[in-house]
Chains A and B, each alone.
Chain A
Amino acid sequence: MLEVDEVWKSYSGVSAVRALTLRAAPGCVVGLLGPNGSGKSTTVRMIVGLLRPNRGRIRWRGIDIQQQLLAYQTVVGYIPEEPRLYTYLSASEYLDLVGGLRGIPRTTLTRRIDRYLEIFGLDTDRHAPLSAFSKGMRQKVLIAAALIHDPELVVLDEPNSGLDVAAALVLRSLVATLAERHKVIIYSSHTLDAVERVCQEVVILRGGSAIASTSVARLRELTESATLEEAFTNVAIDQDVAAVGRELASVALS
């Protein structure tokens, strides 16, 4: 069980996350939703231990993660929002580095790397530098790197970014399978359709605070919306999106 209790985070005095509380149980996929700047990525980075909260606690199986950060990070798999990679490494070298740092025995690691590259269709490009990879290909490498040690907690920050339709469908199936295996999954995304299909619970963030935290079905019911997109628009978006679109189209005519 992952518990985020009254967590605050600020950068140079500016609050990014305020009193955020969420729970994620094994087998349950928790979606993090929110507009840009709502604090999703900061929350995710605190959950994986990259950032330390100013206030509040994040607990894994009842223990504050900051007390045993290294032990906690051995069970976390993380797909970051931006495809941060050492781009001068090849896909197999990068996975080799990550697996090595996680202490996976060599024979096991080689077998897993080969399998991941084969499944993702990257085996023919395994020796090409990551700088030559497309965004989608890099995302596949990141997914492999996040899963290579069989993590108990999987944190996905915009995992669909750059993926083609087939790969996005594979990812959806992957998340469902991981949930069936009682992994704890945090899924942060702008893609409401994907979140609706994958997540059982959603937390909607705005201005660093959680403005809704419930199941997808309950949220739709409460907001009297047919879809999650409609519910999200009602809860989290203030502006008249149609009017903004019209205004944008007319700027170049002025």
Chain B
Amino acid sequence: MIRRRLPPSFQHEFDQFALLSRDSVRSLLNTALVSRDGDPSQFALWSVVLVATPPAMYAFRQLVNYSALGFQKASIIEHAIQVDRMFFLLYGMLVAALVAAATWEALLPNRADQEIVGSLPVRPRTLAAARLAAAICITVMASASVSLPAAAFLAIAAPSHPSLGFLPVVFVAHIVSTMGASLFVFLLLLVFRSLLALCFGAHTSERLATLLQLVTIFGLAEVFFFIPGVIPALVDRLAAGDRTALLLPSVPFAALYAWLVGLHYPSLTFGALVAPLLLIASVSIVITVYLCPARLFARRALEAPPRQHVGITSTLAGLAALTLPASPVVRSITTFAITTLLRSRQHRLIVTAYLGLALAIGTLSVIAGGLRGTLPFDRPATSLLALPLVTMFFTTLGLRSAFTVPSDPDANWVFRLSQPRVTAAVDATLLSLLLLSVAPIATATGLGALVFGWTRHAAAVTALLDIVCGLALAEWTLRDWRAVPFTCARSGDVESLKSRWLGHVLPLILFGFVNAAIQNAVLRSDRAATSYAAIVLSAWIVQRVRRQFAARHVSLQFDAAPRDAIAKLNLSDAIG
């Protein structure tokens, strides 16, 4: 219908736009996909389920709560609902940021896109517009999956109290404001991405994906753990007419939400006007900085020389591996693992996701204790000691998870032909875990402790204990490891995500929190600390001996393990 109304000269361009938009959706999904051989539709489905479940559950719980609050005063109900709305807005915004982080690389057409489409009679602006439309479409879908269930639950709860609003209005207001807020954040990040690419080039812009993902995962986790404690104060400021609160991006949309539902604080009217203005402004800026320079982006992508130097960090990491006393095989595999991780954005994103979660959980009690003034930062405390241990736990698991995703299965013939021993491959993987997770975190712990004013002795002993614990953790993580990192074809990742995460909760509590309490106790005496370290080291040695013994009769794994043992049963044979 739109096509028919266009002048004939634009009709063909519209057709091209439609074709490229469809293709861009797949490009974006493929970029977000961590495993090259993964199924984008499965990935999209599970991602939607993963992000949509927490707010839906929260909204359902509030549905029950509001029903019980039917006889409360209007002011109490209004305050409670404002807090909840702010929660949903923040969550939706962080989901949009997560979408941007996961698809960061493909948000602008890259060199490969320009190579494929550049020789065809397609304007650069058409390709850019198609990519923009696809990105917005994905964000809207993600945002809708987060907003719709919550909107439905809150709308159902509305009749239980007059202050909650009118059922259909609540439904519409929730969707309009949360999706508006999500879109605003996404467009803002798109502007940021375009400006970075314009000013500093594509490489710098793409490198920020890892940092952005870390921040968004951290933020998403904090929305649940920490933000609920902060939001009531924010709502109080908003109700009191504090206009500085409007500087927080979620507040104007919260004001819009309240205004749409019919809660007429005079201070909210201004905020409600600001929200649509922000959205319109972000759309205009996106058009200016994303679509207008499309030709320039295309030319730069095609003419940019290939990278002349590999990253300094990965070179240093490789050098670190080379200086370690290990066999040439172990050193080669370690260097390969480290450089692959540092140069592969998709693998880094996996680790970043775990790290973000770790920081959110680890800092929870630290921030809370700090705000209440009950946590002494100048000497060892359980909350402080738990932070590096929790971080180490998640980072090590994240690295192990990243190692299972092949970087290029077609290229693993090098390892298939040379067939290193299983022990060498596992030793190299262990070394990689130590260099990428345990050593940096323990070093940061020691330095951080010194910065906070701990004694040198306490800082050094804490760092050493973390190294010993990290060694045992890494060995435990690799108890069934039989592969060279990044070379084994992957199978059943969705199944492992669904079924195995619960199995990590108890180890996390034991390693992160119980262990921190033990460390806090043993740090009071050198003798106790030595005994503790000796016990942990003994545990590591026992695990290592068991692993080496078990590895004698197995060979390296390069092909995906059968997804399900039941699938191997041949029932027709059995019946026959």
Q: Which residues of A approach B to under 8 Å, CB–CB?
A: 11-12, 45, 48-52, 70-71, 73-74, 76, 78, 80, 82, 84-86, 88-89, 97-98, 100-103, 131
Is B19 a contact partner of A102 (Cβ separation < 8 A)?
A: no
B12 within 8 A of A: yes
Cβ-defined contact, A84 with B120, below 8 A: no
Q: Judging by beta carbons under 8 Å apart, are B115 and A71 in contact?
A: no
Contact of A51 among B26, B303, B305 (CB under 8 A): B303
Bound state CA distance, A72 and B114, in angstroms?
17
Task: List, in ascending order, chain B residues with CB within 8 A of A45's CB.
Answer: 302
Chain A residues in 8 Å Cβ range of B19 = 97, 100-101
On whether the beta carbons of A84 and B116 are closer than 8 Å, the reply is yes
Chain A hits for B163, CB < 8 A = none
> Are the C-beta atoms of B20 and A101 separated by less than 8 Å?
yes
Contact B305 A101 (CB under 8 A): no
Bound-complex Cα distance A116 to B95 (A) = 44
Question: CB distance A73 to B120 under 8 Å?
Answer: yes
Q: Which of B30, B114, B115, B121 contacts A101 (CB 8 A)?
A: B121
Rounded to whole Å, the gap between the CB of A247 and the closest CB of chain B is 24
Interchain CB contact under 8 A, A71 and B40: no
- In the complex, chain B residues whose CB is within 8 Å of the CB of A101: 16, 19-20, 117, 120-122
Distance in angstroms between the alpha carbons of A70 and B127 in the assembled complex? 14
**Docked CA distance A51–B116 (Å):** 13
Q: Whole-angstrom distance between the alpha carbons of A127 and B30 in the complex? A: 18
> Do the beta carbons of A78 and B299 come within 8 Å of each other?
no
Q: Which of A80, A86, A103 interacts with B23 by CB under 8 Å?
A: A86
Please determine whether B121 and A11 come into contact, CB atoms closer than 8 angstroms.
Answer: no
The answer, among A48, A89, A100, A131, for a CB contact under 8 Å with B119, is A48
Sampled A-B contacts (14; CB under 8 Å): A12-B305, A49-B119, A51-B302, A51-B303, A70-B123, A74-B121, A82-B115, A84-B115, A84-B116, A98-B120, A101-B16, A101-B19, A101-B121, A131-B36
Bound CA span A88–B299, Å: 25
B526 contacts partner chain A, Cβ-Cβ < 8 Å: no
Chain A hits for B420, CB < 8 A: none
Tell me which residues across on chain B come within 8 A of A85, comparing CB atoms: 116
CB of B339 to closest CB in A, whole Å: 23
Is residue B112 within 8 Å, beta carbon to beta carbon, of the partner chain?
A: yes
Q: Shortest distance in angstroms between B51's beta carbon and chain A's nearest beta carbon? A: 23
Known pairs A52-B299, A97-B23; A103 contacts B116 (CB<8 A)? no
Find the A residue at minimum CB distance from B37: A131
CB of B15 within 8 Å of the partner chain: yes
Contact check: which of A73, A76, A100 meets B15 at CB < 8 Å? Answer: A100
CB distance from B247 to the nearest CB of A (A): 42
Q: What distance in Å separates the Cβ of B500 from its nearest Cβ neighbour in chain A?
A: 28
- CB of B118 closer than 8 Å to a CB of A: yes
Does B437 sit within 8 A of A, measured CB to CB? no
Shortest Cβ distance from residue A144 to the other chain B in the assembled complex, whole angstroms: 14
For A74, what are the chain B residues with a Cβ–Cβ distance below 8 Å?
121
> Does residue B334 face the partner (Cβ distance < 8 Å to A)?
no
B121 x A50 contact (CB < 8 A)? no
Complex formed: what's the CA distance from A100 to B126 in Å?
14
- Given the complex of chains A and B, what is the CA–CA distance between A105 and B346 in angstroms? 39
User: Which B residues between 271 and 317 are near A, CB-CB below 8 angstroms?
Assistant: 299, 302-303, 305
Consensus secondary structure, chain B interface: helix
Instruction: Chain A residues near B36: list those with CB within 8 A.
Output: 131
Given contacts A12-B305, A51-B302, contact A89 B23 (CB under 8 A): yes
Contact between B16 and A50 (Cβ–Cβ < 8 Å)?
no
- A78: chain B residues within 8 A (beta carbon): 119
Q: If the complex has contacts A11-B303, A86-B27, are A103 and B120 also in contact, measured as CB distance less than 8 A?
A: no
Give the residue name and chain of the B residue nearest to A76 (CB): B119
Type the 1/0 row for B78-116, where 1 means its CB is closer than 8 Å to any CB of A. Answer: 000000000000000000000000000000000010111
Contacts of A89 in B (CB 8 A): 23, 26
Residues of A within 8 A of B20 (CB): 101
Q: Are A102 and B120 in contact (CB under 8 A)?
A: yes
Question: How close is A160's CB to chain B, nearest CB, in angstroms?
Answer: 19
A128 to chain B, nearest CB (A): 13
Evaluate contact between B120 and A11: CB separation under 8 angstroms: no
Shortest beta-carbon distance from A191 to chain B in Å: 22
Min Cβ gap A2→B in Å is: 15
Contacts of B30 in A (CB 8 A): 88
Expressed in whole angstroms, the Cα–Cα distance for A49 and B117 within the complex equals 11
B15/A103 in contact, CB under 8 A = yes
* Inter-chain contact A11/B119, CB cutoff 8 Å: no
B523 → A minimal CB distance (Å):
53
Q: Are the CB atoms of B118 and A50 closer together than 8 Å?
A: yes
- With A12-B305, A103-B15 already in contact, the answer to whether A88 and B26 are too (CB < 8 A) is yes
Sample of 8 further A-B pairs with CB below 8 A, known A70-B123, A97-B19, A101-B20: A45-B302, A70-B121, A71-B121, A73-B121, A80-B115, A88-B26, A89-B26, A97-B23
Residue of A nearest to B30 (CB): A88
Closest-CB distance, A137 to chain B (whole angstroms): 14
Within 8 A of A (CB), among B122-137: 122-123
Among B27, B40, B302, contact of A50 (Cβ-Cβ < 8 Å):
B302
Q: Is the CB of B15 within 8 A of A49?
A: no
Question: Could you say which residues of chain A place their CB within 8 Å of the CB of B303?
Answer: 11, 51
A80 — which chain B residues lie within 8 A by C-beta? 115, 119
* A86 with B116, Cβ < 8 A, contacts A97-B23, A101-B19 known: yes
Q: Which residues of A contact B299 (CB under 8 A)?
A: 52
B23, B115, B118, B121: the one within 8 Å of A102 (CB): B121
Task: Tell me the bound Cα distance from A84 to B112 in angstroms.
Answer: 7
CB neighbours (8 Å) of B114 from chain A are: 50
Q: How far is the CA of A51 from the CA of B117 in the complex (A)?
A: 13
The smallest C-beta distance from A84 to any residue of chain B, in angstroms, reads 5
* A69 and chain B: residue at smallest CB distance: B121
Q: How far is the CA of A101 from the CA of B117 in the complex (A)?
A: 9
CB distance from A204 to the nearest CB of B (A): 25
Chain A: CB-nearest residue to B26: A88
**A11 B305 Cβ-Cβ under 8 A:** yes
Report Cα–Cα, A196/B188, bound state, in Å: 57
Interface core residue of A12, A48, A73, A101 (most chain B CB under 10 Å): A101
By a CB distance below 8 angstroms, the chain B residues around A88 are 26, 30, 40
| Residues B7-51 near A (CB distance < 8 A) | 12, 15-16, 19-20, 23, 26-27, 30, 36, 40
**B15 cross-chain contacts in A, Cβ below 8 A:** 100, 103
In the assembly, what is the distance between CA of A12 and CA of B116, in Å? Answer: 23
Q: Select the residue from A45, A48, A74, A88 with max chain B CB neighbours within 10 A.
A: A88
The answer for the CA separation of A84 and B117 in the assembled complex, in Å, is 10
Q: Which residue from B40, B112, B116, B119 sits with its C-beta under 8 Å from A73?
A: B119
Instruction: Give the docked Cα–Cα distance between A45 and B26 (Å).
Output: 27
Which are the 4 A-B pairs with shortest beta-carbon distances?
Answer: A73-B121, A78-B119, A84-B115, A48-B119
Give B102 Cβ to nearest chain A Cβ, in Å: 16
Quote the shortest CB–CB distance from B17 to chain A (angstroms): 10
A103: nearest chain-B partner, CB-CB:
B12
Give the chain B neighbours of A86 by CB distance below 8 A. 23, 26-27, 116
- The docked-state distance in angstroms from the alpha carbon of A211 to that of B19 is 44
In angstroms, Cα B116 to Cα A49, docked, is 12
What B residues does A70 contact at CB under 8 A? Answer: 121-123
